[in-house]
Amino acid sequence: MDIQGVAAIVTGGASGLGGATAEMLARNGAKVAIFDLQEEVGQALAEKIGGRFVRTDVIDEASVAQAIQQAEIPHGTARILVNCAGIAPTFKTVGRDFAAHPLDSFRKAVEVNLIGTFNMLSQFAARLAQAEPQGEERGVIVNTASVAAYDGQIGQVAYAASKGGVVGLTLPVARDLAQHLIRVVTIAPGIFWTPMLAGLPQAAQDSLGKQVPHPSRLGKPKEYAQLVHSIVANPMLNGETIRLDGAIRMAPR
């Protein structure tokens, strides 16, 4: 699919992987809507790239429906969706003083990372399925999982489970949406620089980067965005989860 002139939505698009993706899409001519809860940062980026910011809670059906409608007013029906909204709680299954993993934290990770992803993609697809095809397809959905879906570390049980769910839904959703000419691909990033990592000391960031076989550094958000561009452009990429990780396989800790 040609990005030029196409309406696109990026969840979690105010910063990090989503922010880099929103910038990449706008730079290539897309009409970008940023869906996020970070109003100040999201609005600033939207103004910078000539896009639109819509405050959106991805786990709320009404919020997502309203956001999609608001984005359609200036941009028309979106044909590209990139799901980057997510959280990463860290609790062991059994913690200090033999405390069980907080169930609310586990539930929240699943709600945001898995249910939020599905809520967004299903409502997006329901709108897009009614649009006219462009050539041999109507549009593309790109989800974000994590290498934690395959080799989650100690303390990542909720995060790994939620991202594993995103990997698991990729193929069946692609099969569901094939009749509507909508492709679905998931990216599983390794250790990438994000606002969450920015708070760590530089020595800690460097140490994390050295765990990556090659290149031995943290991934750059623009490299995630580069893969999104390739997925959108290549019509045979469908129903697959792609690891973007410099060949890392995460150790237990």
Please report, as a single letter, which amino acid is at residue 178.
A
Domain-by-domain residue ranges, the chain? 7-244
Give the mean model confidence (pLDDT) for residues 223-237: 98
Residue 91 near residue 105 (C-beta atoms within 8 A): yes
Please say if 159 is a catalytic residue.
Answer: yes
pLDDT tens per residue across span 66-102: 999 999 999 999 999 999 999 999 999 999 999 999 9
Q: Which two tokens stand for residue 7?
A: 């309406």
Residue 229 near residue 3 (C-beta atoms within 8 A): yes
pLDDT at 198: 77
- DSSP-derived letter for residue 113 is I
CA neighbor of 211 nearest in space, from 191, 188, 227, 187 = 191
208 band by pLDDT with thresholds 50, 70 and 90: confident
pLDDT at 161 > cutoff 90:
yes
Report how far residue 26's alpha carbon sits from residue 32's, in angstroms, rounded to the nearest whole number: 6
Reported as half-sphere exposure (CB side, CA atoms, 13 A), residue 12 has a value of 21
What is the pTM (predicted TM-score) of this model?
0.96
Pick the CATH number of 7-244 from 3.40.50.720, 3.40.309.10, 3.40.50.300, 2.60.120.260: 3.40.50.720
pLDDT tens per residue across span 12-57: 999 999 999 999 999 999 999 999 999 999 999 999 999 999 999 9
Q: Which of 159, 192, 193, 224 is catalytic?
A: 159
